[in-house]
Structures are given as C-alpha cells and as structure tokens.
Amino acid sequence: MDLFNLTAHELTAKIKNKEVTSKEVTENVFKRIEAVEPKVKAYVTLLKDKALAQAAEVDAKIAAGKEAGLLAGIPIAIKDNMNIKGTKCTCSSKILNNFISPYNATIIDLLSAEGAVFTGKTNMDEFAMGSSTETSFFGKTFNPWNLQAIPGGSSGGSAATMAADEAIMALGSDTGGSIRQPASCCGIVGLKPTYGRVSRFGLVAFASSLDQIGPLTKDVTDAALLMNVIAKYDPKDSTSANILAPDYLKSLQNNVKGMKIGIPKEYFVEGMDKEVEKSVREAIKLLEKLGAQIIEISLPNTEYCLAVYYILAPSEASANLARYDGVKYGYRTPDANDLLEQYEKTRGEGFGPEVKRRIMLGTYALSSGYYDAYYLKAQKVRTMIKNDFEEAFKKVDVIITPTAPSAAFKIGEKMDDPMQMYLSDIFTISVNLAGIPAMSLPCGFTSQKMPIGLQVMAKHFNEEAIFRAAYTYEQNTNWHKEKPRL
C-alpha cells in the first residue's frame, strides 16, 4: 500500500489505531524519496537514520499505551533555514555549507513533542532570497508537475516534497510570498500565519520584520493540524505574540453562508495570465453560489508594495547577513593576508549573486544621506498599506486574490531579469508588509496542466476565517486530489 499518498490526518488515525506503524509509514516515504528524488531534487540533507529512530520511539509509545502526540509518526520535511540540533543548516548557501546546528528551533521542539518524524532538510533559494529555488548553492529543485518548470520559491524544496509525496507535511518560511507562491506553483496548500503567531526562534533571519514560518500541506485539514502544533507563544522570540491560538480544526466548517468576501480591484491587473484570472474568478463564483457575499473593495496603496518591499527586505537582510564574516562559523576563505581581506574574500566567495545584489541594495538604502529618502519613506508607506487592509477588514471577513500572476514558469526563464523575477511575488508581498495571515490553495490548472493558486487573506490573528473559506472551497472541488505523474 502506498502510504506516502495519504494526508497526515488520515495517517495519524491509522497509526493510533495500530493499522500501520510509524516505521512502516517512514520506510514507505523513504522508498518514495529514493524513487523520485533524483528527478525532483527537493532535499539537501536526508535524515533517514534519525527518522527511523524517531518512528521507533513513537511505535514503542503506542505499544505501551502512552499518548504519542498530535503528529505521532508523521514524516515532516523542514526547510533548510530552521535549526535542528546536530544537523546541517545551510540556507542553501556556500557560506553555511559546513554549519552544524548547535540547538533546535522552537518549532522543532514543538513538533518533536507531538511525535513528528523529520525526513530531512529541503532545498531553497539561498538565504530565502528568490522566487524559483534557482539561487541555491546545491542546484535547482524541479516542479513535480513539469520537470522543466520551477517549483516556486524560496520554499520550493518543501513545496516539491508535498506535490511529489516525498513527505507527509512540510514547513517553509515566508518573507514576501515564499510559502504561498511555491504552494501555488506546486498545486498544494501553503499558509503564512499572522506575524508573531509562530515562533521564529531558530529560523535563520532574512528580514526580521517580515519572516514567518508556516505549513505546506496536501490539504487544508493538514494545515490546520500543523498549525495546532506550531502556533504557540515563545518567550525566546521577542516578536512572538502572547495570544492563545484556537483549535484550528474547529474552523473547518463546510459553510460560507453570510461570509463577506472582498475582491480588490487592484489585484486583477493588466499582464496577468488569462487562465489564472479565469480560474480565480470561477472560484469566487463558486463561493458566492455557496452563500458568501462578494464585495468589491479597494486597496489603493497596492501599487507601492513591490517598491516598499525591495527597500525594507534588503535593508534588513544587509544587517542580518553582516554576521557571516568567516570568524565564528561557516565558510572562511583559505587565502587572506589580514582581517579585512578575510571579511571581503569570505563574503565575496561565500554568497551567491542574488544575495550580494540584495545586500548591496539594502546597504545603499541604509547609507548616510539615503536613509530618510528610502528606508524611512518606505516604512511610512508600509503603514499606509497596513491601514488599507485594516479599513478593508471592517467591511469583509476575508479577501480573495490570485496567489501569483502566472503558473510556474520554465527554469532559467527569468534568471537574467531580476525585475521580472521580483514580479512573481506581486500579489503576496502586501500580506507580509501588513503582517496579516494568508493561504494559497489549488483552484485549477492551465491548459499546460500547471497548477493555479487561490489566495485567501484575513485580518491579524484571524486564521480561522481563512480556514473556513478555504475548507469550504476545497470540500466543493477536487483540485487538491490531483497528483502529478512522476
């Protein structure tokens, strides 16, 4: 039996009822990895021995009649910018190629406490900077729906593991769309929680005011299940919100009667792929038919999102990445005559072109004489963008938009044009700037059989509204049941 095809909520029931063991599930997933990983290349580190040991622990607990946890025996893939003690954490960069984590990220402790099994660390754009998983030092990841296409980014490895059934659940991080855009490209579910809802302690920082960890899963129920485990207050993270998270599984109601759904006119723009627009509009019509009230809204400062993001995110990155200097950890150049030369050569040799580009952009925006003109102004416009959403959520419960302006594009298509690559995140960036939660879920396919994503946003700490709308849509369609033929 192919256990790797199943969802976590299906498997936890089978494991707890002793129909299958965690060891059988884990071995089955690794058999799948051996079969398809040479084509997909989703992982940078596999943890088979560790995973089998974790699975054996879960099985021993169940055999002894002890409580084994919410995710007992479920194999989970972890993006390679989250620390697992004693395991490599590279951020898919040469500069951290030899770095072994000395501690666990908080989310790793939370998952372990609930019996999760870690399959490995997934490939990503270097330091999460990219939308295609092409900037990784370890090479590209390929989209399971079409091996000539990108899987999205930066959490492309995690998204590809879900589409290819190389894990049962996965975790990614989202700074400007890095969970939702790959979820859209790979035809799976991806949730960026509210900023502060999930601890960032042990996540390698890219842009600290934007980064957020979240689930990538095969369906909406699994996303709710994973959120029940990771949405906890953490005193180790100064940005963690001390707000009790609800039981997200209770939000899974197949009912949108009376729900108000906002459709922002700024998100249906010129240049958007016609097939994407058609699928998203059909999804909106279906929700209306199911009893939701559709209201056109305006988010007037949307046009500034991209510019604001590409000042703020690189500025924070330039500060966060200053620590990679070859002194305490990571790569160090072998031929330097003095300390300054060591810094310069280590960073020059250790970082890839996209990371260098963003460090330079950020350093420029923060430099003397430009700080007020760029960084300070961008912060003010960010507040205006946040206010747009606050006004909109006074009238509607959720906002629905496309996740990305097109389906996954061909590998190499946009590598020489950074501006075109940055536009891949045009519909997702605003969510990070405002700090609100948003989910991408599958809503159709192009004529080339490439997945299309629907984005559902809600106000701060109202993930329940997203789950309700997304679950209703999912239960009334079959897109999430489609699988690529690998």
Q: Which positions are annotated as active-site residues?
A: 79, 154, 178
For the chain, the straight-line distance linking the first and the last C-alpha, in angstroms and rounded, comes to: 18
- 272 phi, psi to nearest 5 deg: -75, 145
Kind plus residue range of the DSSP H or E element containing 454: strand 451-458
The single-letter DSSP state of residue 375 is: I
The CA-atom distances, in angstroms, between 12 and each of 79, 211, 430 are 22, 30, 36
Whether 412 contacts 132, CB under 8 Å: no
10 Å Cβ neighbour count for 139?
A: 12
Whether 221 contacts 9, CB under 8 Å: yes
Residues in the chain, total:
486
Give me the sheet containing 293-297, strands edge to edge: 43-46, 117-122, 75-79, 169-173, 213-217, 189-192, 438-445, 451-458, 398-402, 260-264, 293-297
10 Å Cβ neighbour count for 319?
A: 16
* 401 burial type by CB count under 10 A (0-12 exposed, 13-18 middle, 19+ buried): buried
